[in-house]
Structure 1
Amino acid sequence: MPASPATRSGPRVVVVGAGMAGLTAARDLRAAGWDVLVLDQRSYAGGTVRRTEVAGVTVDVGAEAMLNRRPEGVDLARGVGLEITHPALAASRIWTRGELRPLPRSLMGVPLDLDQLAASGVLSDEGLARVRREPTLGPRTYDEDVSVGDLVDERFGPEVTDRLVEPLLGGVYAGQARRISARAAVPQLLAHAARGSVLEQAAAIPTTYDLPVFAGLAGGMGRLPETLLAALRADGVEVRLGTTVRGLRRTPDGFALVTGSAADPEEVHADRVVLATPAAPSGRLLGDVAPAAAAELTAVETASVAVVTLALRVADAGLLGGLGSGFLVPPVERRRIKAATFSFAKWDWVREAGAADDLLLLRTSLGRAGEERTLQADDAELVAASLADLAAATGVTARPVDTHVQRWGGGFPQYAVGHRERVARVRAAVEQVPGLAVCGATYDGVGIPAVVGSAHAAAARVGPAPVRGTMGA
């Protein structure tokens, strides 16, 4: 098996994966003095942070925003010279019980304002009565992990889970509330329950902050990995896209990675390795190097989603401009879409970009864990399903000028009950292998700041580049 060309300038780290985690880790490692090589099987960098052109306007077809109150994402964007912007409008609704209803103040769907909840009409009289009994429940400490849905069912009743918690968790994790870990997804809820009534503590939960909740980039979040990639290459980092890593093994002085096809393999040597790939490929690569970690990672389930972007003529869009920034759809409504985002209303830059041609751009999302059949349809059917649900929700029956369907197969790791304990076991096993680190959305959070944070931690584990000749195994 031929080795890669000897063009190295110093101790080398190979980063597998050019999503946000891999690019961030590569940036940190280059700054720490390493010769860095990034490998990714896709033809583009950024993973699920990507943008493309629809009706002549370049828009996000993956993640469109990041949490602003957690600093890692915005700090990274500013660090590569990008200017942060914030939503012009962030007023989502819930499409349930036959109407688009205001989303009451909540903690990931758990109600914090009884008056708003009652006025919204999201719950039935029986469901609202069940919520009103929550203050009579005493403190509850969970010795073991519990699902978000089971915890909410117990304190607030299943109607809150079905109509409020499910759509919010579906938007973040593409998961099911009664399978998602409370410790991993909403640890604050466990802390409140341990003290007693969540509703009685609601007044102490902040509703206003010094900073906006979300941040974005004019031109799209996809600019972040594009800019990172350009900066890395300018700094001497080699990034090979369209390169699949098929194997990983230890060598006396580090690691060997097998790339290329089975018929024409290539062996790439590294002193250190960072796996910034999803759970399944990471598990496959770790099979011989860290088998205990591999077993844990291959057990992580994922969800697939599709994002449908629609460009409508302003004259055909009817009342969409007065319906806030979009809406969420509870699974109990049995609709095809799980959410709609009115991008033209949410982001000034999207509205301005479409204005030249009198266009409004919006998007829907489809697919949750366990709903793979929803996505077993061609693009035309997903567009038709999106338009039908939009018409039923808003009354707008416009024919789009252009459409785009982006499928994210297995793009959302599921944080099942016991997720944090699983991650601890993975990291304990990986730490037994000197020179190896892992990062990405599988571990500490699926949002951009959490992914960036995990990459910083992985790069810190690798540490600064040593002087050649002082390397340890």
Structure 2
Amino acid sequence: MTSYLVLGGGISGLTAADDLLRADPRAEVMVLEGNDRVGGKLRSAELAGRHLDVGAEAVLARRPEGLELIGRAGLGDDVVHPTGARASIWSRGALHAVPTRTFMGVPADPSALRGLLTEAEVARAEHELALPTGQADVSVADLVGPRLGAAVVQRLVEPLLGGVYAGHADVLSAAVTLPALLRAARAGESLVAAVAALLPPPPEDHARTSPRPPVFATVAGGLHRLPPALAEGLQRRGATVRSGTLVRELHALAGGGFEVVTGPRPDPTAYRADRVVLALPPTPSARLLHDVAPEASELLAGVATASTAVVTLAFRSEELGPLEASGFLVPRADGRRIKASTFSAAKWEWVADAGRGAGPDGADLTFLRVSVGRHGEEVVLQVPDPALVRTCLAELGQALGRELPAPVHRHVQRWGGALPQPAVGHLDRVAAVRTALERVPGLAACGAAYDGVGIPACVASAHRAVAQLSG
């Protein structure tokens, strides 16, 4: 009987443990999670007696892995999609609807950017420069800017990428974030034409009108329901899931297999297993691999991360007034401290339902959240929670063009080092990490640092790690 230790109880680790038991129901599988609960960046907080997501709130529905995992957890019947309210971009002091038919901000039709961009900026984008590149990887800014103009990068691409990676277009790898467009550029093709080919045609071009498949999905009641459901399923099938168990050391044993050491140094606890799946962020992974796989350790130590915060606010609906959009993104070029806001009650029906009658004296509440923090801008987060809330309220009011009422509830969730930053050359770095780990039989790694951020990418990364161990 083969034994496994999965280090990390986020989505990657829970998926890996599930895969291991599916491959061998008799396997001994133990998940060790350092925090007091499983789930990683999926977490809830209670506001007005309602549990709301304060981390990841949705999965990309156009990739199958996230929805398949929700089904594995027994929550498939609870899958819901956004209301259809459109997102905006708060640019140059005004809110503009995100133009239709864009791919991470790159347009299929630059003329649709009028209003968000000036006429001169639109004209620049309409006269795309054909600049083939022979490079295997470039930054997003270097891919898009010379071809369509700096304004497309600053006003569209970077806000959208910032919502996903909390990073900067002049740092993020195009090979990771925009691989299809990089391939087009390397072939000397137009980025605009490549986006038009990637996206479905406009509705009027359909021979028969039919609703487009939704881009995102979540679980009614919150995506935070997914990790405990997965953990409970693992335990029913014989796995052990231990939270509050921080792994301090990882050793390869001379006779084969591994030992991990947890607990305080004066009173350590050791666990042994035949194989290990490392499902932790890059910094703790690098520390644990220092002796076992030093080359992989050094490479992972070079992966930068972004720290962020999610500020969730509850307002009396009558005092706040209606919110028509699903939220807005903020270009870094405007110098704002917030990077996005999600009008949760307008985006998700289950959140709107949760607010009904939840306030004092049975008043209806409107829940929304504000995101703060980009890579390299940690100073914005280095203030007490009340100051961070004041910043969010002030800039949110400016975006909406009105003074906001005082929220009746608020919650600040800080995510230190939450988002790996795939810089130029990241794919080569990951390939080198995996090559180094392959030299250590029985050891594999997975997570957002390897195959991309987002739940589907983390699930796919776990599948790959388990396949490597089983191969």
TM range (shorter): over 0.9
Query: Contact (CA 8 Å) 2:131, 2:147: kept in 1 or not?
Result: no
Q: Distance in 2 between matches of 1:219 and 1:327?
A: 23
CA distance 1:441–1:188, change in 2 (3 Å): same
CA distance 1:314–1:419, change in 2 (3 Å): same
**1:381 aligned partner:** 387
Give 1:192 deviation, angstroms: 2.7
Q: Distance in 1 between matches of 2:316 and 2:111?
A: 38
**2:7 aligned partner:** 16
Describe the SS at the equivalent of 1:172. Answer: helix
Kindly indicate whether residue 174 of structure 2 is the aligned counterpart of residue 182 of structure 1.
Answer: yes
Matched residues, percent identical? 52
> 1:145-200, CA deviations, whole angstroms, 9 ceiling, x for partnerless residues?
10001111111111111111111111000100100000011101112323422224
> 1:291-330, CA deviations, whole angstroms, 9 ceiling, x for partnerless residues?
111110011000000000000111111242x2x1000000
Matches within 5 A, 1:308-387: 308-320=311-323, 322=324, 324-357=325-358, 358-387=364-393
Describe the SS at the equivalent of 2:261. Answer: strand
Tell me the TM-score normalized by structure 1. 0.92
Q: Distance in 2 between matches of 1:319 and 1:87?
A: 17
Q: Distance in 2 between matches of 1:416 and 1:371?
A: 16
Matches within 5 A, 1:19-168: 19-31=10-22, 32=24, 33-82=26-75, 83=77, 84-105=79-100, 106-118=102-114, 121-134=115-128, 137-138=129-130, 140-168=132-160
Pick aligned residue for 1:276 from 271, 276, 279 = 279
Q: Distance in 1 between matches of 2:134 and 2:159?
A: 24
Kindly indicate whether residue 452 of structure 2 is the aligned counterpart of residue 445 of structure 1.
Answer: yes
Query: Contact (CA 8 Å) 1:317, 1:396: kept in 2 or not?
Result: no
Count residues in correspondence: 449
Query: Contact (CA 8 Å) 1:104, 1:113: kept in 2 or not?
Result: no
Q: Distance in 1 between matches of 2:29 and 2:286?
A: 22
Which contiguous aligned blocks of 4+ residues in structure 1 show a shift greater than 4 angstroms? Answer: none
Matches within 5 A, 1:239-278: 239-251=241-253, 252-278=255-281
CA distance 1:436–1:162, change in 2 (3 Å): same
The alignment yields a C-alpha RMSD, in angstroms, of 1.4
> 1:415-450, CA deviations, whole angstroms, 9 ceiling, x for partnerless residues?
000000000000000011110010011011101001
Q: Distance in 2 between matches of 1:164 and 1:94?
A: 8
Pick aligned residue for 1:285 from 278, 284, 288 = 288
Residue 385 of structure 1 aligns with an amino acid whose one-letter code is T
- Unmatched runs of 5 consecutive residues or more in structure 2: 202-210, 359-363
> 1:85-117, CA deviations, whole angstroms, 9 ceiling, x for partnerless residues?
111124100001111011113111112222321
Query: Contact (CA 8 Å) 1:273, 1:435: kept in 2 or not?
Result: yes
Q: Distance in 2 between matches of 1:425 and 1:448?
A: 23
Describe the SS at the equivalent of 1:95. Answer: strand
CA distance 1:201–1:14, change in 2 (3 Å): closer
**1:5 aligned partner:** none
Q: Distance in 2 between matches of 1:100 and 1:45?
A: 38
Query: Contact (CA 8 Å) 1:318, 1:396: kept in 2 or not?
Result: no
> 1:70-97, CA deviations, whole angstroms, 9 ceiling, x for partnerless residues?
1011011012210211111241000011
Give 1:281 deviation, angstroms: 0.7
**2:205 aligned partner:** none
Q: Distance in 2 between matches of 1:401 and 1:412?
A: 30
Describe the SS at the equivalent of 2:388. Answer: helix
**2:436 aligned partner:** 429
> 1:105-157, CA deviations, whole angstroms, 9 ceiling, x for partnerless residues?
31111122223211xx22223322211210xx335133231000111111111
Give 1:459 deviation, angstroms: 1.5
Kindly indicate whether residue 465 of structure 2 is the aligned counterpart of residue 458 of structure 1.
Answer: yes
Q: Distance in 1 between matches of 2:241 and 2:225?
A: 17
